[in-house]
Amino acid sequence: MKIGVMGSGAVGSFFGSFFSEAGHDVTYIARGAHLTEMNKNGLTIIKENEKIVIQQAFSENVEDLADCELILFCVKSGDTKEVAERLNEVIQESAYVMTLQNGVSNEETLVELFGKERVLSAAVYVQAEVESPGVIQQSGRYKLVIGSLSEDGQEVEKRFSELFKGAEIPTDISKQILLRKWKKYLWNLIFNPLSAATDRSVGQILDDPYLRQIAWMIGLESIEMAILSGYPLNEKDVQIAFQNAEFARTHTTSMLQDIRKGKVSEAEELVGYLVKKADGHGKSINTLKTVYLLLKSKESSL
């Protein structure tokens, strides 16, 4: 199958590499030093004690995805609308788009452009980062949970689940993929902005009684907003998020990676989205809002 990776950062490069290794025709869209290094020496994936080098098509031109049958959509949330509009101008009407992004708002934008029948979503569970241009470092467990956004998407879900499993990517299907994404989003809300605002790893947050309490308060505020949005999360989901965090103690969250590299994070799209939703409903999520404002202040000084 011809597969395009739109946004070949840590997540896109890591999962795209499985398809390359399985013999599929993969085109990776990237930019800057990361792209330059890949074109020079290939894409290097380091997972545990294994190192592989991928030699395929690396480009900065969206037009190079024109004949792809599946697009793994992995750009930063703030770029979703602009990139999706460019992509919609070039890909085939039969091509499917699967978002591997954080958050729960990107699906709305993609459905507007491509239609429910062509959009799939994935809850991504992986610890990966760009160690240096052209080099992706991954550790720990990884898997995808995928689902169609169409009520009649069972065949599409099955088709792509088999494709992913054939490439040795652990993959499950969820009939309620947006509920599953909200549960993943809950984990991100609890740990991502707080880690970036305080320059702490997940484990350091868990071990600091004060930061742990802040994280717990964020969790409670987040499930209140989930319920308001029609997704029945509860305190048990917060407990599960903390339990899962034990497996990611050494993980440097994506927002913290961005801040340490002097980049603007996805705080606006992932956290600001919920803060604005709360304001619109007259709800107070002051713990999360305070962390969000601290993070925005830190970004403004970059």
Same domain, 45 and 61: yes
* Last residue of one domain, picked from the residues 156, 175, 194: 175
- As a whole number of Å, the end-to-end CA separation of the chain is 42
Same domain, 226 and 266: yes
Q: Where are the beta strands (DSSP E) in 133-160?
A: 135-148
Q: What pLDDT score does 302 carry?
A: 78
- Region 278-297: mean pLDDT is 95
Say if strands 50-54 and 43-47 run parallel, antiparallel, or are unpaired.
antiparallel
* Last residue of one domain, picked from the residues 133, 149, 175: 175
Same domain, 26 and 106: yes
Q: Is the pLDDT of residue 259 over 90?
A: yes
Same domain, 12 and 153: yes
Same domain, 146 and 224: no
CATH number at residue 187: 1.10.1040.10
Per residue in 57-94, pLDDT (tens digit) is 999 999 999 999 999 999 999 999 999 999 999 999 99
Q: Is the pLDDT of residue 279 over 90?
A: yes
In the chain, the percentage of residues whose pLDDT exceeds 70 is 100
Do residues 123 and 181 lie in contact, with contact meaning Cβ atoms separated by under 8 Å? yes
Q: Is the pLDDT of residue 251 over 90?
A: no
What b/e string do you get for 226-245 counting C-beta neighbours within 10 Å, with b at 16 or more? beeeebebeeebbeebbeeb
Per residue in 210-234, pLDDT (tens digit) is 999 999 999 999 999 999 999 999 9
Q: Which amino acid is at 46?
A: I
Q: What pLDDT score does 7 carry?
A: 97
Same domain, 120 and 264: no
Same domain, 140 and 65: yes
| Vertex 222 angle, CA 217 and 223, to 5° | 105
Do residues 215 and 222 lie in contact, with contact meaning Cβ atoms separated by under 8 Å? no
What b/e string do you get for 113-145 counting C-beta neighbours within 10 Å, with b at 16 or more? bbebebbbbbbbbbbbbbeebbbbbbeeebebb
Same domain, 57 and 101: yes
Q: What pLDDT score does 48 carry?
A: 81
Same domain, 75 and 131: yes
Q: What pLDDT score does 9 carry?
A: 95
In the chain, the percentage of residues whose pLDDT exceeds 90 is 93
Residue 34's domain comprises 2-175
CATH number at residue 145: 3.40.50.720
Q: Where does the pLDDT of residue 160 fall: very low under 50, low under 70, confident under 90, or very high at 90 and above? A: very high
Average pLDDT, the chain: 95
Q: Which residue in this structure is represented by tokens 């956290």?
A: 271
Say if strands 135-148 and 43-47 run parallel, antiparallel, or are unpaired.
parallel
Same domain, 127 and 222: no
131 to 138, 212, 248: CA distances (angstroms) = 9, 28, 17
- Region 13-24: mean pLDDT is 98
Question: Could you give the number of structural domains in the chain?
Answer: 2
Same domain, 171 and 195: no
Q: Where does the pLDDT of residue 177 fall: very low under 50, low under 70, confident under 90, or very high at 90 and above? A: very high
Same domain, 40 and 161: yes
* Last residue of one domain, picked from the residues 113, 140, 175: 175
